[in-house]
Structure 1
Amino acid sequence: MPVSRRPRTFAARLDSRVSSTPTARHLLRAYLAALPSGDRYHDIAELLLGELFANAVQHSDAPADRLVEIRIGLVGDRLRLEVHDAGSGRPALHAATTDQEHGRGLLLVDELAERWGCCPRAGGVGKFVWAIVAPSFSFAAA
């Protein structure tokens, strides 16, 4: 009987700093590289994880020494991304004005994710924001 080489759910805790965002994206790329068709999620997943991680760092009211946890896993053929933080605030969509330099990240998540949401963490401390990424299909030219 063949053994499945599909990676299980991956989790890592990173410093709550914007400078940790590239590390989160690097870990996602490594996870996807182990999947037979991980390239079908790569571009969208990397953008979404970067936005969710940066939002957790920038908008959390948690103490600065708290870590931000990322979780990555497959559910069927969908990629699930989670970003956990100890903050109490919940993300909310709002329209950014044309002169604002920030405030569009969650709009990107809303447009590019198949679904997304926010849930309280077990134990009642903080929350996690999750996004589901559908595989993209590339069609080779005939």
Structure 2
Amino acid sequence: MPISRRPRAFAARLDSRVESTPLARHLLRAYLAALPAGDRYRDIAELLLGELFANAVQHTDAPDDRLIEIRFALTNGLLLRLEVHDAGSGRPTLNSPAFDDEHGRGLFLVNELSARWGCCPRAGGIGKFVWALIAPTPFPLAA
């Protein structure tokens, strides 16, 4: 029986602060470094994780001392699944930002750059998680 080289799912809980966003991206980079083609997910995955994490911090109605959980896993279909769990009750709403809007593009980017995304209630009934599936970028064409 062949041994799978795919890393298992990863999960971590981080402080619910905007300053934790770089740590979330760092943990994602470390996870992707263990994948044979992890660099093919990196740019889009880092951008979308940063947006989802920042949204969880900024738009939650949960107490400030609640942690935000991040999870990463490679699916059998070779899509990268990102999840951001928070204790808030509000659900994200997709808007189409106007050209001169300074905010409101995070979920728009998630919608445009992910293969699929969604929001589900957490087990136990407290909070929700937002997930996104990221397809690998194609290899560059040879010159």
Whether the TM-score (by the shorter chain) exceeds 0.5 is yes
- Report the residue type matching 1:94 in the other structure: N
Name the residue aligned to 1:108.
Answer: 109
Match in the other structure for 1:132: 133
The aligned residue for residue 60 of structure 2 is 60
Structure 1 segment 1-142 matched on structure 2, within 5 A: 1-76=1-76, 77-142=78-143
Measure, in 1, the Cα distance between the counterparts of 2:115 and 2:99: 26
1:137 & 1:97 partners in 2: Cα distance? 30
CA distance in 2, matches of 1:112, 1:86: 25
Offset, 1:2: 4.3
1:137 alignment partner, SS class: coil
Q: CA deviation at 1:97?
A: 3.0
Cα distance per residue 1:5-59 (max 9 Å; x no partner): 2110000000000000000000000000000110110111010100000000000
The 2-side partners of 1:36 and 1:122 are apart by 32
Q: CA deviation at 1:101?
A: 1.4
Q: Return the letter of the residue paired with 1:105.
A: G
Letter in 2 for 1:17: R
Q: Matched residues in 2 for 1:139 and 1:70: separation?
A: 30
Query: Which secondary structure state, in structure 1, belongs to the residue aligned with residue 123 of structure 2?
Result: coil
Kindly state the Cα deviation for residue 100 of structure 1 after the two structures are TM-superposed: 2.6
Q: Take 1:110 and 1:89, find their aligned partners in 2: how far apart are those partners?
A: 18
> Matched residues in 2 for 1:110 and 1:65: separation?
29
Percent identity, aligned pairs only, is 76
Which stretch of structure 1 is more off in the superposition, 1-10 or 116-125? 1-10
Say which SS state the counterpart of residue 41 (structure 1) adopts.
helix
**Distance in 2 of aligned mates of 1:19 and 1:128:** 20
Q: 1:5 to 1:103 in 2, by over 3 A?
A: same
State the aligned residue count: 142
Alpha-carbon separation, structure 1, partners of 2:10 and 2:25:
13
Give the ranges of 4+ consecutive aligned residues of structure 1 lying more than 6 Å apart after TM superposition: none
Unaligned 5+ runs, structure 1: none
